[in-house]
Amino acid sequence: MTYGYDGAEDAAQRKKKVAVIGVSSIILVAMVVAVAVGVNGDPNAGGSSAESSSANQISTSSKSIQAICQPTDYRQTCETSLTEAAGNTSDPHKLVQAGFQVAIDSLREAIKNSTTLREVAEDPMAKQALDNCEELMDDAIEDLKTSFKQVGDFDISKLDEYVANLKIWLSATITYQQTCLDGFDNTTGPAGQKMREILTLSSQLTSNGLAMVTGLSSILKDLSLAGLTGRRLLNDNGLPSWVTREKERILAETAATIKPDMTVAQDGSGQYKTINEAVKNIPKKRNTTFVLYIKAGIYKEQVTISRSMTHIMMIGDGPTKTKITGSLSYAGGVQTFKTSTVSVSGSHFIAKDIGFENTAGAIGHQAVALRVQSDMSIFYNCRMDGYQDTLYSHTYRQFYRDCTITGTIDFIFGDAAAVFQNCNLVVRRPLESQRCIITAQGRNNSRQATGFVIQNCTITAAPDYFPFRFRNAAYLGRPWRQYSRTIYMQSQIDDLIDPEGWMPWMGSFGLDTCSYSEYDNRGPGAVATKRVTWKGIKKVSPEEADGFTAAKFIDGDLWIPATGVPYTPGMIKL
């Protein structure tokens, strides 16, 4: 599908053509969404129309479907699902409605299947994995409902914003399905294979949807029509639409001056003595900031900020004074997904001056201190302490500023679009036979809008590891998934990093398809003359590196500055 202008057209013709493009774009988005959310057929879902127009509509739809499915990886699945979903309607809203409903019904059916599988599963870890799958599919259903609401209020002027959000959501959907399947690693019985079969079609459709959204984004970029697209995330004050003046004021304050909505204090000077007691009483789905002040103390709790708890700000008395700690671990019989001391799913979450810890130690293997699947979330002056899998940067857009993150193996992992700015990444001493790896980014599809950006950070050795740093080598990262993507730029890298820089995951897996880069780093560990020479090691130009800055990679200008958190949108002047 190609759009263009003839220089001989007069103003009226040009205006008419822009209108046609606008309508076509809406229909295109409708088709994209229908496939993206997993349409698998409902010929009666779209309503009916006159027979005389039906044939023409079917012919038009068929050609459009073939064109839109062209860039997908599973073209036959794409064409079949869209053809069945189109039915007798060309109304984009009805088409989208049918697609969302079929997808929701399909996910609910998968949940039923997982319940049945759990009843016959004998392996305790497989049963946990099935429980996790139910939670992850519930998250997917909620994403579909949220997306449907936005489609109902669709405005062509917000198309660019919508496409960007959809790419992030679809990336998360792919990750959620993979996370579900990850839980069956090293389990016995047929549950894992059965779940893989259940998710095959939805995985293909999600991949197709992401391919089409990516194609749509390219079309819009080529068009560059003023007034047709553009982000409208800012309100009249120049702030992100979700940021009120109240929030701007609150985020500029500290624990000493702020007036919180709720206070937790172990000495009884607040409304609650435990964080979980407070969390139970936090209002759901707010659009204004709710400030939870946690006074100094060590809180031995496992805390969950659910998806329904949005716009929450947690503020402590300092990352070493206010600490939330736990010790769940994979070695202790708990699935990695549920070992996290703190889990955050509600969007627009902010943590400031707090420590998150998992004390299971190196012997505990996978033991998460903090799991984050909160879109547009910020962690400022926080500390994440653990060993293996300390920070699970799971999904969506995340920003970390002036934080300290410690660990041994894959201690920053997941598949979020995350920028770490001015952070300290500290390698601790592992078990005797272990090597250390800082990142294990989990991008599973080349079109996912995800990756880790390590900018102006310091990569250094903890005191207990320093004497062993040459015996137990440390690496910048390894490809957990096939399209793993990480870039270190403008960072201080000490001599703990092995000269090869990057470590394989298993054999040759991901070495040709990953995307690992280093740009303008400094320090003895930044010397790249002996780096591995995999195909996936990318040398980036200044222009390409600029694409990984916070303003561009996570749209940071639209949601970070107004929070009052220190933030550099582009390259940092050193």
Residues 407 and 368: beta-carbon distance below 8 Å: no
Closest CA to 477 of 452, 502, 504: 502
560's tokens = 């970070």
DSSP string, 1-52: ------TT--HHHHHHHHHHHHHHHHHHHHHHHHHHTT----TTTT----HH
Residues 271 and 247: beta-carbon distance below 8 Å: no
Decide if pLDDT at 21 tops 80: no
Q: What is the mean pLDDT of residues 99-107?
A: 64
Q: What is the mean pLDDT of residues 257-280?
A: 94
Decide if pLDDT at 172 tops 60: yes
139's tokens = 């998250």
Query: With bands split at pLDDT 50, 70 and 90, how would you rate the model's confidence at 211?
Result: confident
pLDDT reported for residue 240: 44
Question: CB 479: neighbour CB atoms within 10 A?
Answer: 29
Integer Cα distance of 332 and 569 in angstroms: 42
Q: Which of 177-191, 252-266, 290-304, 436-450 has the lowest mean pLDDT?
A: 252-266
Decide if pLDDT at 49 tops 60: no
Query: With bands split at pLDDT 50, 70 and 90, how would you rate the model's confidence at 259?
Result: confident
Residue found under tokens 């970029």: 221
Query: With bands split at pLDDT 50, 70 and 90, how would you rate the model's confidence at 101?
Result: low
Q: Which of 141-150, 296-305, 354-363, 391-400 has the lowest mean pLDDT?
A: 141-150
Q: Going by DSSP bridges, is the β-strand pair 342-344/436-441 parallel, antiparallel, or unpaired?
A: unpaired
DSSP string, 133-183: HHHHHHHHHHHHHHHHHHHHT--GGGHHHHHHHHHHHHHHHHHHHHHHHHT
Q: SS in 3 state form for 299-334?
A: EECCEEECCCCCCEEEECCCCCCEEEEECCCCCCCC
Residues 421 and 548: beta-carbon distance below 8 Å: no
Name residue 391's amino acid. Answer: L
Question: Sheet of 262-264: strands edge to edge?
Answer: 262-264, 290-294, 312-315, 350-352, 377-380, 397-401, 417-421, 451-455, 485-489, 515-519
Question: CB 273: neighbour CB atoms within 10 A?
Answer: 15
Q: What is the mean pLDDT of residues 536-564?
A: 94
User: What percent of the chain is predicted at pLDDT more than 90?
Assistant: 58
Decide if pLDDT at 420 tops 60: yes
Closest CA to 563 of 347, 318, 378, 307: 378
Decide if pLDDT at 411 tops 50: yes
Which one has a higher pLDDT value, 5 or 473? Answer: 473
pLDDT reported for residue 410: 98
Q: Which of 55-64, 93-102, 192-201, 469-478 has the lowest mean pLDDT?
A: 93-102
173's tokens = 């959907």
Which one has a higher pLDDT value, 518 or 29? Answer: 518
Q: What is the mean pLDDT of residues 428-436?
A: 96
Q: Where are the beta strands (DSSP E) in 225-320?
A: 262-264, 290-294, 297-300, 303-305, 312-315
208's tokens = 């197709």
pLDDT reported for residue 164: 79
Integer Cα distance of 340 and 335 in angstroms: 10
Q: What is the mean pLDDT of residues 320-342?
A: 98
pLDDT reported for residue 40: 39
Q: Which of 208-222, 292-306, 547-561 has the lowest mean pLDDT?
A: 208-222
Which one has a higher pLDDT value, 440 or 202? Answer: 440
User: What percent of the chain is predicted at pLDDT more than 70?
Assistant: 75
Q: Which of 84-88, 137-141, 291-295 has the lowest mean pLDDT?
A: 84-88
Q: Which of 145-149, 300-304, 367-371 has the lowest mean pLDDT?
A: 145-149
Which pTM does this prediction carry?
0.87
Q: Which of 157-166, 267-276, 365-374, 556-565 has the lowest mean pLDDT?
A: 157-166
Decide if pLDDT at 317 tops 80: yes
The chain-wide mean pLDDT, for the chain, equals 82
How much is the CA Rg of the chain, to the nearest whole Å?
Answer: 24
Which one has a higher pLDDT value, 17 or 451? Answer: 451
Give the three-class secondary structure for 199.
Answer: helix
Query: With bands split at pLDDT 50, 70 and 90, how would you rate the model's confidence at 142?
Result: confident
Which residues does the annotation mark as catalytic?
Answer: 410
Which one has a higher pLDDT value, 371 or 246? Answer: 371
pLDDT reported for residue 86: 62
Q: Which of 117-131, 218-232, 337-351 has the lowest mean pLDDT?
A: 218-232
pLDDT reported for residue 210: 79
Query: With bands split at pLDDT 50, 70 and 90, how would you rate the model's confidence at 327?
Result: very high
Query: With bands split at pLDDT 50, 70 and 90, how would you rate the model's confidence at 229?
Result: very low
Query: With bands split at pLDDT 50, 70 and 90, how would you rate the model's confidence at 496?
Result: very high
Name residue 173's amino acid. Answer: T
Query: With bands split at pLDDT 50, 70 and 90, how would you rate the model's confidence at 102?
Result: low
Type and span of the H or E element at 384:
strand 383-385
Integer Cα distance of 267 and 265 in angstroms: 5
Beta-bridge partners for 412 = 391, 439
pLDDT reported for residue 563: 86
Provide the CB-side half-sphere exposure for 371 (13 A, CA).
23
Q: Which of 97-101, 430-434, 476-480 has the lowest mean pLDDT?
A: 97-101
Beta-bridge partners for 380 = 352, 401
pLDDT reported for residue 248: 54
Q: Which residues of 487-508 are buried (b: 16+ CB within 10 A; e: fewer)?
A: bbbbbbbbbbbbeebbbbbeee
Decide if pLDDT at 464 tops 90: yes
Q: Which of 8-22, 185-199, 498-512 has the lowest mean pLDDT?
A: 8-22
pLDDT reported for residue 440: 98
pLDDT reported for residue 25: 41
Closest CA to 327 of 356, 352, 290, 305: 356
